[in-house]
Amino acid sequence: MDSTVYDTVCDRLQKIDNRPCMHYIKVKQGQAGLCSLPGRFLCDESLKRFSPRLSHSTALDWRRCRKLFYYRHVQGITVRPHMKSIALKLGTVWDEVVECKTKTGLWSVDQPSVEKLQVPEFDLACVSGMVRACEALEVELHPCEPQVKIEDQIQDGPWIKAILDGRGDGFFVEDKFTFMPNEYFDPFNLTSQVGTYFLLDDSLEYCVIRAVRKPGLQPYKPTKKRKNGETVAEFEERVYQDIISKPKHYLPYFDPATKLYGRRFYPTEFDLASLLWEYAHIGYDISVAQQRGAFYPNYSACRTVYGMCDYRSICDTGGVSDEYFERRDKAEYGGNN
């Protein structure tokens, strides 16, 4: 059998003077740079030599499916905010609720963000009911600075970036809004994310996982007795009443004395040496995949508990719908658009 190795050179490569290509945007020493051409993201040629900047979610994408990784992180194709899954939308809205409470002391939903994400009203009622319940229960949050970025290069390996939901004195917090909070109280499931944050900052002594349970209640449908079904306001009220009747169910590890919720984890609970070793290999493997054109699909990863892979339509047809997808911001990666 013929073993074909793709060793193609970028079709737009144009060397000038002391720069590798006139379209090249250098980002950081030892990190794959960007291509300035519209419709392109990472520089194909630099990716053959250097790893792209990684994060715990980037590394998860690589482990899940190389083709997905290629679309999202090499070509920079992402799903438009209003087309994201409900789980992601609610997670974003909840993160903003927590950020607002941390900064201002107020429990409140950010309406412009809800509109941008086009969150369905009954799903939003689950967050609004939770917000009202937190206010009624006088729930408090650990004092910290929200949305703290950290970035570092591992020895002889890739650059890694993380955004902590909150950083306090010697600790960080991670917030979730999920219908499976218990999944986030198992160190095995947390290693890729929490372990990465401990790797990047060894002054962090512990973290607090604040995984809030998304209410599983469903709006009542119209019946013979009740023709119109449940309104959004009625549903939100029922959600609210359910939460204040059992706060520990919805806010795991809620302490009525301190009014704080969430569980602590310590660095010793994670195999950080293995994680470091994995990052070094992932960075190297991505460059080799680029050299060989080996971003092949993993069909066993197409369907997950959250639904079908976002990139299924591209895999299927090769077309990239402007209605569904947009291009990643190069400035966010460290370049200029």
Which positions lie near ligand SF4, rule CB under 6 A? 65, 67-68, 297-299, 301-302, 309, 311-312, 315
Containing H/E element for 254?
none
Q: Which is nearer to ligand SF4, 19 or 312 (CB)?
A: 312
Nearer to ligand SF4, 240 or 311 (CB): 311
Interatomic CA distance for residues 16 and 23, integer angstroms: 10
User: What is the smallest separation between the CB atom of 182 and ligand SF4, expressed in angstroms?
Assistant: 26
Closest CA to 173 of 270, 256, 261: 261
Residue 30 CB, nearest approach to ligand SF4 (Å): 28
Counting other chains too, the contacts that 106-110 makes at CB distance below 8 Å and 24 or more residues apart are 107/131, 107/132, 107/134, 107/135, 107/139
For ligand SF4, give the closer residue by CB, 277 or 299.
Answer: 299
**Helix, strand, coil in percent for the chain, rounding step 5:** 40, 15, 40
Which residues, at least 6 apart from 273, have a Cβ–Cβ distance to it below 8 Å? none
CB 74 → ligand SF4: shortest distance, Å?
A: 12
Phi, psi of 130 (to 5 degrees): -65, -45
**Pair type for strands 34-35 and 24-25:** antiparallel
Nearest distance from residue 297's CB to ligand SF4, in Å? 3
Question: Could you give the maximum distance between any two Cα atoms of the chain, in Å?
Answer: 79
Q: Least distance in Å: CB of 85 to ligand SF4?
A: 14
Cβ distance to ligand SF4 smaller for residue 68 or 160: 68
Do residues 122 and 245 make contact, with C-beta atoms less than 8 angstroms apart?
no
Closest distance of CB 75 from ligand SF4, Å: 12
Q: How many CB atoms lie within 10 A of CB 158?
A: 24
